[in-house]
């Protein structure tokens, strides 16, 4: 069974940092691009960042550029999102998603995790 | 405000055919594939349509996608109560070098 399980969310104060993880199983992790997508409470979907199979291509939404860093460890079948200088508007459910293809970041997300909640509040 | 524009709501009766529109620009829909996601209440999104009109394995052929110029649409035929969900369109934006989503359409089966 193809599965993505996110972890690392929680309550954090504005300006602090948090690192999210996504554990992948059931497929050859290093064959595919991976992404983070978030959804604020009661709101729509917002793409956050994506990384190609070999980390050769990485992209970020303007809203997180310079604050968030995506990375992957193919040996551990894991995806990460380092989030620094967190703001109240970063409060959301963060989903890990598998890309449909390997090198291209512009292909659809065909598998999603259940998400991990990040709340930024003092 | 979302880069891609969808109607906030849509409705239909069981058995009916409904369509949901998605409008963008030359930098996203006009130059990239469009995909559609279904999000049932309290669950993670699920890929319904990729590369404009392709269905992943397991998605019923009641769901179909199309694209023309800078607009796309999702059609659902033979509407069922279990189709009640939020539907999102998405496309890669060449100018932003990232993915953009529509604001979502809440489909009600009355």
Nearest to A113 among B44, B99, B100 (CB): B44
- Cβ contact B45–A44 (<8 Å): no
Question: pLDDT confidence of B10, banded at 50, 70, 90?
Answer: very high
Residues of A with CB below 8 A from B44's CB? 95, 112-115
Least confident of A28-32, A46-50, A101-105, B86-90: A101-105
Distance CA B10, CA B7 (A): 7
CA nearest to B77, candidates B102, B104, B55, B100:
B55
Summarised one tens digit per residue, pLDDT across range B48-95 is: 999 999 999 999 999 999 999 999 999 999 999 999 999 999 999 999
Reported confidence tier of residue A104, pLDDT bands at 50, 70, 90: confident
Mutate one of A4, A43, A106, A110 to test the B interface: name it (highest B CB count within 10 A).
Answer: A106
| CA gap A112, A24 in Å, rounded | 10
Which residue among A44, A50, A110 sits closest to B101, beta carbon to beta carbon?
A: A44
Q: What is the pLDDT of residues B17-30, one digit of tens each?
A: 999 999 999 999 99
Say how many C-beta atoms besides its own lie within 10 A of residue A25's C-beta: 11
Chain A residues in contact with B39 by the CB 8 A cut-off are 45
pLDDT at A103 over 80: no
The pLDDT assigned to A102 comes to 67
Q: Residue A75 has what pLDDT? A: 97
What's the pLDDT score for residue A6? 98
Q: What is the pLDDT of residue A101?
A: 76
Chain pair A-B, CB pairs under 8 angstroms: 63
At A56-97, the pLDDT tens digits run 999 999 999 999 999 999 999 999 999 999 999 999 999 999
CB contact (8 A) between residue A59 and residue B97: yes
């Amino acid at each position: 069974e193809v599965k993505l399980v996110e972890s690392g969310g929680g309550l954090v104060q504005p300006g602090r940092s948090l690192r999210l993880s996504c554990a992948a199983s059931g497929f050859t992790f290093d064959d595919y691009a991976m992404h983070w997508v978030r959804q604020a409470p009661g709101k729509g979907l917002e793409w956050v960042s994506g990384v190609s199979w070999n980390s050769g291509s990485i992209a970020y939404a303007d809203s997180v550029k310079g604050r968030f860093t995506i990375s992957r460890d193919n040996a551990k079948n894991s995806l990460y999102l380092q989030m620094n200088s967190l703001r109240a508007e970063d409060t959301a459910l963060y989903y890990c998603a598998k890309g449909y293809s390997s090198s291209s970041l512009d292909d659809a997300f065909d598998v999603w995790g259940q998400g991990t909640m990040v709340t930024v509040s003092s | 405000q979302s880069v891609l524009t969808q109607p906030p709501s849509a409705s239909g009766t069981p058995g009916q055919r409904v369509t949901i529109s998605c409008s963008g620009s030359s930098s996203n829909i006009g130059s990239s594939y469009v995909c559609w996601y279904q999000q049932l209440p309290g669950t993670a999104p699920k890929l319904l349509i990729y590369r404009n009109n392709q269905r992943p394995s397991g998605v019923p052929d009641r769901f179909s996608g199309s694209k023309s110029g800078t607009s796309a649409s999702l059609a659902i035929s033979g509407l069922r109560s279990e189709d009640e969900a939020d539907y999102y369109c998405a496309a890669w934006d060449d100018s932003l070098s990232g993915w953009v989503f529509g604001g979502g359409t809440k489909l009600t089966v009355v």
